[in-house]
Structure 1
Amino acid sequence: MLPQETRILTIVQPDDWHLHLRDGDVLNSTVPQAAKQFKRAIIMPNLRPPITTTEQAAQYRQRILDSLPENAEFEPLMTLYLTDNTRPAEIRRAKESGIVHGVKLYPAGATTNSDAGVTSLDNCIETLEEMQKQGIPLLMHGEVTDPDVDIFDREAVFIDKVLVPLRKKLPDLKIVFEHITTKTAAQYVATAEGYIGATVTPHHLLFNRNSLFVGGIRPHYYCLPVLKREENRQALLKAVSHKNTRFFAGTDSAPHARHTKESTCGCAGCYTASHALELYVQAFEEIGELDKLEWFTSINGPKFYNLSVNRNKVTLIKEKWQIPEELPFGENKVVPLMAGEFLQWKLG
Structure 2
Amino acid sequence: MPKQSPDSLTIRRPDDWHLHLRDGAMMAAVTPHTAAHFERAIVMPNLVPPVVTGAQAAAYRDRIMAHVPEGSNFRPLMTCYLTEDTDPEDIAKAHADGIITAVKLYPAGATTNSASGVSDFDKVRPVLEKMAEIGLPLCVHGEVTDPSIDIFDREAVFIDKVLKPIRKKTPDLRVIMEHVTTENAVDYVRDSRSNLAATITTHHLIINRNHILAGGIKPHYYCLPVAKREKHRIALVQAAISGDKRFFLGTDSAPHTDENKLLPCGCAGCFTAINTMSCLAEVFDAAGAMSKLENFTSLAGPRYYNLPPNEATMTLTKGDPVTYPATVDTGDGPVTVFDPGFPLHWRVQ
Alignment of 1:1-348 (within 5 A): 6-319=6-319, 320-338=321-339, 342-348=343-349
TM-score, with normalisation over the residues of structure 1?
0.97
- Provide the rounded CA distance (Å) in 2 between the counterparts of 1:28 and 1:315: 26
Contact 2:136 2:174 in 1 (8 A): yes
Q: Provide, for residues 33-86 of structure 1, a one-character-per-residue CA deviation record: whole Å limited to 9, x for no partner.
A: 000110000000000000000000000000111111111110000000000110
TM-score (norm 2): 0.97
CA contact (8 A) 2:2 2:294 kept: no
In the TM superposition, residue 340 of structure 1 has moved relative to its aligned partner by: 8.6
Q: 1:159 & 1:242 partners in 2: Cα distance?
A: 22
User: 2:326 is matched by which residue type in structure 1?
Assistant: E
Single out whichever of 326-335 and 253-262 deviates more from structure 2: 326-335
Residue pair 1:182, 1:232 contacting (<8 A) in 2 also: yes
Maintained 8 Å contact 2:2/2:9: no
Instruction: Name the amino acid aligned to 2:305.
Output: Y
Counterpart contact for 2:3–2:9, Cα < 8 Å: no
Q: For residue 301 of structure 2, what is the amino acid of its counterpart?
A: G
Are 2:102 and 2:137, in contact at CA under 8 Å, matched by a contact in 1? Answer: yes
Report if aligned partners of 1:323, 1:343 keep a CA contact under 8 Å in 2. no
Deviation at 1:2, TM superposition (A): 10
Q: Structure 2 unaligned segments of length 5 or more: list them.
A: none
Cα distance 1:74–1:169, how it changes in 2: closer, same or farther (>3 A)? same
- Check the 8 A contact 1:79/1:104 in 2, yes or no: yes
Contact 1:84 1:124 in 2 (8 A): yes
Question: Runs of at least 4 residues of structure 1 off by over 6 A?
Answer: 1-5
Quick one: percent identity of the two aligned structures? 51
Which whole-Å CA distance do the structure 2 matches of 1:181 and 1:243 have between them? 18
- Contact in 2 for aligned 1:181/1:233 (Cα 8 Å): yes
- One-letter amino acid of the structure 1 residue matched with residue 331 of structure 2: G
Distance 1:203 1:26 in 2: 21
Q: 2: CA distance between counterparts of 1:228 and 1:267?
A: 18
Against the structure 1 CA distance between its residues 118 and 2, is the aligned structure 2 distance closer, same or farther, given a 3 Å change threshold? closer
Q: Is the 8 A contact 2:4 2:10 kept in 1?
A: no
C-alpha distance in structure 2 between counterparts of 1:4 and 1:19, whole Å: 28
The residue matched to 1:153 in structure 2 has which SS?
A: helix
Question: Do the aligned residues in 2 keep the contact of 1:13 with 1:313 (CA within 8 Å)?
Answer: yes
Cα distance in 1, alignment partners of residues 172 and 5 from structure 2: 45
- Deviation of 1:92 after TM superposition, in Å, equals 1.6
Q: Which amino acid aligns with 1:115?
A: A
2:61 counterpart SS class:
helix
Q: Where does structure 1 lack aligned partners over 5 or more consecutive residues?
A: none
Give, in whole Å, the separation in 2 of the partners of 1:332 and 1:342: 26
